[in-house]
C-alpha cells in the first residue's frame, strides 16, 4: 500500500511539473497551439482524477489506521449511554419515593393528633399479600394490634399480630378487615368497607350498607369516615368501579378499586394514637 501511494505521488508530481512547464512556455507566446491546448487539457483532467483518487485512498488508509481509535470511541459512547440510562432509572425511583414521602407529610400535617412509625415490609405472612405483610417494627416501637397501616395518603390495612420487633399487617383486600367508609360526593358515612374478591381474582374492596336512595356513582372517591375512633378520618380507600343493589339486605353496595397497589408495597406507615387506649373490634 505504501509503495503504491509513493508511485502515485511521483506520477502526480511529474504531471504537475509538465503542466507548469507548458504554462510557462505558453505565457511567452501570444497564442497557444492546438496541440499545446489539447495536451494541457488532458494533463489537467488526468491530474484532477488522480488527485481525487489519491484523496480517496488516503481517506481509506486513514480509516484503517484509525479503526482502533474509532472502536474505542464507540465503546466509550456505549458505556456512557448505559450510564445515562441507569441514572434515568435511579432518578425515576427517587421521584416516586419523593412523591410518596410528600403524600405522607401531607397526611401527617393534617392529622397531628397521631404519631407515625415508618416500617419496611420484610416478607409475606402467608401465600400472598392478602394473608398479610411482615414488617420490621413491633411493640418496642409502640405498635399495637388493630392500628392502621397507610402508604402515602392511602389505606393499606390493619395490624393483626405484634411481636417485640415485628408485626403482621393484613391488607384492606382481605375479607377479615372492615372499616367505616365515607362517600365523598354524597357525604354518606353509613357504609362499611371490606375486602372483595372478584370473579377474575382481582383484589378489590366493597362498600356495603348504603341506602337504596344513595346517589353514589362510578368514579366517586371513598375515604375512611373516622367513626369509632380507630381509623383517622379522610384516609383514601379507593374509587368506585361498579354499583349494585344488595337485595338481601335491602341496601346498595359499590365495588372499589383501592388507591394502594398492594402487590408493589415496600414501605408502610403505622398510625399510632397519641393517647394510649385499647383497640377493640
pLDDT means per 10 residues, the chain with 281 residues, are: 52 57 49 45 49 56 63 76 68 57 58 82 82 92 92 89 94 86 91 81 85 92 85 90 86 92 88 66 37
pLDDT score recorded for residue 150: 92
Three cell numbers, residue 138 = 413491633
Contact 134, 119 (CB under 8 A): no
pLDDT of residue 236: 93
Asked if residues 154 and 235 have their Cβ atoms less than 8 Å apart, the reply is yes
pLDDT at residue 127, rounded to an integer: 76
The ranges of the chain annotated as CATH 2.40.10.350 are 178-259
Give the pLDDT of residue 2: 47
Cell of 11: 506520477
**E strands, the chain, where?**
114-124, 133-135, 148-151, 154-162, 167-171, 178-183, 188-197, 203-210, 221-224, 236-246, 251-258, 267-273
Distance CA 11, CA 236 (A): 87
| CA 133 vs CA 101, 118, 176: distances in Å | 20, 14, 14
Q: What is the pLDDT of residue 46?
A: 47
Q: Considering the chain, tell me which residue range(s) the CATH 2.40.10.340 domain(s) occupy.
A: 115-172+265-273
Q: Does domain 115-172+265-273 have CATH number 3.40.50.1100?
A: no
Report strand pairing: 114-124 vs 267-273: antiparallel
Q: What share of the chain is helix, strand, coil (3-state, %, to 5)?
A: 40, 30, 30
CATH class of 178-259: mainly beta
Amino acid at each position: 500500500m505504501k509503495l503504491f501511494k509513493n508511485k502515485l505521488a511521483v506520477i502526480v508530481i511529474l504531471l504537475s511539473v509538465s503542466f507548469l512547464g507548458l504554462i510557462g512556455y505558453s505565457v511567452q507566446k501570444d497564442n497557444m497551439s492546438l496541440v499545446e491546448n489539447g495536451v494541457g487539457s488532458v494533463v489537467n483532467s488526468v491530474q484532477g482524477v488522480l488527485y481525487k483518487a489519491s484523496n480517496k485512498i488516503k481517506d481509506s488508509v486513514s480509516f484503517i489506521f484509525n479503526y482502533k481509535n474509532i472502536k474505542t470511541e464507540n465503546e466509550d459512547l456505549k458505556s456512557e449511554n448505559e450510564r445515562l440510562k441507569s441514572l434515568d432509572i435511579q432518578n425515576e425511583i427517587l421521584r416516586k419515593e419523593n412523591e410518596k414521602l410528600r403524600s405522607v407529610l401531607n397526611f401527617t400535617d393534617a392529622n397531628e393528633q397521631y404519631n407515625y412509625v415508618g416500617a419496611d415490609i420484610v416478607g409475606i405472612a402467608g401465600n400472598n399479600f392478602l394473608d398479610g405483610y411482615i414488617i420490621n417494627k413491633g411493640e418496642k416501637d409502640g405498635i399495637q394490634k388493630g392500628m392502621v397501616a397507610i402508604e402515602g395518603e392511602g389505606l393499606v390495612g390493619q395490624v393483626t399480630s405484634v411481636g417485640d420487633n415485628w408485626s403482621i399487617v393484613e391488607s384492606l383486600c382481605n375479607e377479615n378487615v372492615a372499616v367505616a367508609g365515607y362517600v365523598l360526593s354524597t357525604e354518606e358515612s353509613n357504609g362499611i368497607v371490606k375486602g372483595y374478591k372478584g370473579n377474575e381474582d382481582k383484589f378489590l374492596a366493597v362498600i356495603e350498607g348504603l341506602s337504596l336512595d344513595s346517589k353514589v356513582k362510578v368514579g366517586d372517591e371513598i375515604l375512611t369516615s373516622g367513626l369509632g375512633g380507630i381509623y383517622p378520618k379522610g384516609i383514601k380507600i379507593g374509587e368506585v368501579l361498579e354499583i349494585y343493589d344488595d337485595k338481601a339486605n335491602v341496601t346498595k353496595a359499590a365495588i372499589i378499586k383501592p388507591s394502594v397497589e398492594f402487590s408493589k408495597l415496600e414501605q408502610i406507615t403505622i398510625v399510632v394514637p397519641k393517647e394510649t387506649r385499647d383497640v377493640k373490634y
